[in-house]
Amino acid sequence: MALAGRRLAQAAGSVIGSQAAVFWRQFSNLSREVAPAARRLAAEPQHALNGADGRIQWVFLGSPGAGKGTYASRLSKYLNIAHISTGDLVRQELKNGSPIAIKVQEVMNRGQLLSDEIIFDLLSRRLEQGLVTGEGGFILDGFPRTAVQAGVLESMTQIDLAVNLTLREEVLVQKMLGRRLCSECGGNYNVANIDIAAKEGKPAIFMPPLPAPAGCEGKLVQRADDTEETVVARLKVYEEQSKPVEDFYSERGRLLEFEITGGIPETWPRLLETLGIESQCEALASGSN
């Protein structure tokens, strides 16, 4: 078995226990070697801009509607690194028409969720591609979703920081109920006008609507499953599943909690400041002169 495969097997047995060992038996045919496996943190864990090799390797976590895709995409462009979404990887594979794409399509046609085996196969090849082409790093959007996935990912390549975007439930519900999609161009917009006063020690939250341009007005539709009942149920399921993932990174000193209290204009500069990105970039720039 290749080195990456052996390390994955070891991780499945030791990093996250018997649950991962069961998973590994189903996952053992992953044959591609990816990044050097299992680089460990230093004795004093700290939030760092990048790893020891200079690469940024982060994950963005957060409940549905929190904006992880938005901020992961913006940050990856700002830092000139890859924004990797497993959903995008699946869609790209389907376009390629590869043997894996055929298997993916068969699973989707049956209305089933893709297995971890398939997801990690796609992800490992994408990470390997980034190493070969010399990418400066990546931000993984909305993955891992379980502690098992987090453990296997850890054996493939160390994640230096997990940014957990949080938003109060009442705001999440309003945001998700306000989501609209242009039936013609596919653009995403939001009609929710959120203005919640500060109370009980919690900060005020103001998020104005994200209006559609004139050409999309009158063509906006709401997702069929964006009802209050399904939204609340979805958030409950996420909360139950996300806690072990948050604990996984928290125990390793790599979890950064970031509460969103405003729209993009207010949140973006605060996120950069919290991550220390602007100051570190300035230091790098001045050091090169």
127's CB contacts (< 8 A; 6+ apart) are 34, 35, 138, 156, 157
The residue from 77, 223, 236, 243 that is catalytic is 223
The residue from 7, 68, 175, 254 that is catalytic is 68
Q: Is 125 a catalytic residue?
A: no
- What is the chain's alpha carbon radius of gyration, rounded to the nearest angstrom? 20
Rounded to an integer, what distance in angstroms lies between the CA atom of residue 269 and that of residue 275?
10
Rounded to an integer, what distance in angstroms lies between the CA atom of residue 256 and that of residue 245?
13
C-alpha closest to that of 243 among 61, 96, 75, 93: 61
Rounded to an integer, what distance in angstroms lies between the CA atom of residue 267 and that of residue 221?
27
Q: Is 223 a catalytic residue?
A: yes
Q: Is 145 a catalytic residue?
A: yes
Q: Is 234 a catalytic residue?
A: yes
The residue from 7, 74, 126, 234 that is catalytic is 234
The residue from 55, 74, 126, 179 that is catalytic is 179
Tell me, what amino acid is at 256? Answer: L
The residue from 145, 168, 219, 270 that is catalytic is 145
Rounded to an integer, what distance in angstroms lies between the CA atom of residue 52 and that of residue 30?
27
Q: Are 183 and 218 in contact (CB under 8 A)?
A: no
Q: Is 180 a catalytic residue?
A: no
How many other CB atoms sit within 10 Å of the CB of residue 179?
Answer: 19
Residues marked active site are found at 68, 145, 179, 223, 234
